[in-house]
A = this chain, B = another copy of it.
Amino acid sequence: MSRIAHEGFRSKVMSAEEAASFVKDGMSVGFSGFTGAGYPKAVPVAIAHQAKEAHAKGEPFKIGVWTGASTAPELDGALAEADAVEWRMPYQSDPQMRAKINDGSAYYSDVHLSHGATYVAQGFFGPLHVAVIEVTAITSDGELVPSSSVGLNRTYLAKAEKIVLEVNSWQSEDLLGMHDVYYDIAVLPPHRKPIPLTKPSDRIGQTTLKVDLDKVVAVVETDASDRNTPFKALDEDSKAIAGHLLDFFDHEVKQGRLPENLLPMQSGVGNIANAVLAGLLESKYENLTSFTEVIQDGMIDLLDSGKVTVASGTAFSLSPDAAHRVNDNAKKYRDLIILRPQDVSNHPELIRRQGVIACNGMIEADIYGNVNSTHVMGSRMQNGIGGSGDFTRNGYLSGFVTPSTAKGGAISCIVPMVNHIDHTEHDTDYLITEQGLADLRGLAPRQRAEVIIENCAHPDYKEQLREYVKLAEKMANGRHTPHDLSSAFSWHVHFLANGTMKMN
């Protein structure tokens, strides 16, 4: 049976190449897609092809590429490789896109994921010419069944002048009922009302996306899987990090500062975050809930075990195996998982109200608790801040995790001063490396430095950090946050020159 149950849409079916022709040089295009899930599989490649043809003729062809978050080679990769990207927003993690951003040929605005939707709705990023949105199906009422991510789709469908839909039959039809699309959040101030959600299991919207058929210029049928990258096997560092976090939870429960079943968990994207979830699976905790951004393999295991009773997010980010498991059992998972627009999943109001426990990865932290999530050695963009700021700034308890070293020990992830700040000292409650946990609550900067160095730094770098502290105390113009500004970045400078942060 066709996935397109409405004649008005069926009459607009065409090839990806025909659909791509609605996108012209200079346009802003809003694509679906969040952490490699639910992105359009065919039209972006066709747009990239169009750009290459234009460039071959000496004609300009660059567009604004707006998405939910990161996508896949068929979108970010193809458009970057074709040099078709003028401006990228709000998050990316594709090697080719990253290369274009860092060689200066593409502009990138690294935007809090909860801000993306409001800024688009408020008109701060200018007009949106075309939306290219993957869906699972089109209902007989002419509404859209979302696929494996919701992201900014609601916003892009509402704002775009023209709409291209990709109907992907690889996505399970049983996803219908998993999504919760809240529409009142699109209301602009001064007319906004409280969001009526008080726990992760609350459903406050509708299961489908609305679309104005008159704006739909093309429907393209596809049958390709999401990106679905495998996670790395759990290593000792990840297990140690998960262990320190669980010990911390035990302590907080004992002190009466966390309930027995904790509070809704958020966990960042990637291998370490996934390891933390695996740690929870082995733990004594029961009746957990999750209010997070991305549903990863570890969360599926927690749902299967019954340890987590409900997981709320905006997208999947699964290994190929887990993706098959979810697709084959979507009828079961649609009662356990709720996918929402990212301006709901990441909303400060909901994160603060529910008391979400935030735990995100980082590139490096400094001795005073400032955190760098985005930049390598001052200037190079890695991926972006994503939702880490939304959760960290509003969580009940917010922290960051990383192994204490990188590049085989040549880089210390605890440094005198981070080379870029995405999360300030004001927002970091705890830091964890495989070495241990630093509980920073109620500590002044000089006290934090002691705890971070002793508990989190790698033994190879402890003495070098202590030496910096001594130097800083001597050179500083004040003893609140002692720094020697002449050498605060000397570790990074040394690495750039010598390939290691080790001075001796």
Contact = CB atoms under 8 A, between A and B. Distances in A.
Interface stretch (A33-41, A118-126, A149-157, A242-250): A118-126
Nearest to A258: B122
Interface stretch (A194-202, A216-224, A324-332): A194-202
Interface residues of A, number: 88
A115 B424 CA distance: 14
A312 interface: no
A257 interface: yes
A256 B103 contact: no
A330 to B, nearest CB: 28
A482 B101 CA distance: 12
A426 B380 contact: no
Contact of A479 (B119, B355, B379): B379
A481 B420 contact: yes
Contact of A123 (B126, B256, B349): B256
A334 interface: no
Interface stretch (A12-20, A314-322, A400-408, A484-492): A484-492
A478 B256 contact: no
Interface string A396-431: 100000000000000000000001111111110100
B442 A355 contact: no
Given A125-B442, A479-B102, A190 B194 contact: no
A379 B104 contact: no
Interface in A354-380: 354-355, 370, 375-380
Contacts of A479: 102-104, 379
A389 interface: yes
A348 interface: yes
A265 interface: no
Kindly report how many copies of this chain are found in the complex they form together.
2
B349 A481 contact: no
Interface string A183-219: 0000011101111101100000000000000000000
Contacts of A115: 426
A268 to B, nearest CB: 16
Interface string A469-486: 000100011111111011
Given A348-B348, A426-B422, A446-B107, A381 B481 contact: yes
Contacts of A378: 476-477, 481, 483, 485, 488
Contacts of A370: 421
A270 to B, nearest CB: 20
15 contacts: A101-B480, A102-B478, A104-B479, A112-B427, A123-B255, A189-B354, A194-B195, A375-B480, A376-B478, A379-B476, A379-B480, A379-B482, A393-B393, A423-B424, A485-B493
Given A108-B444, A125-B441, A347-B352, 4 more contacts: A107-B443, A192-B353, A194-B198, A419-B485
The 10 closest A-B pairs by CB, nearest first: A189-B355, A380-B478, A104-B479, A194-B194, A107-B444, A379-B476, A381-B480, A102-B478, A349-B349, A421-B421
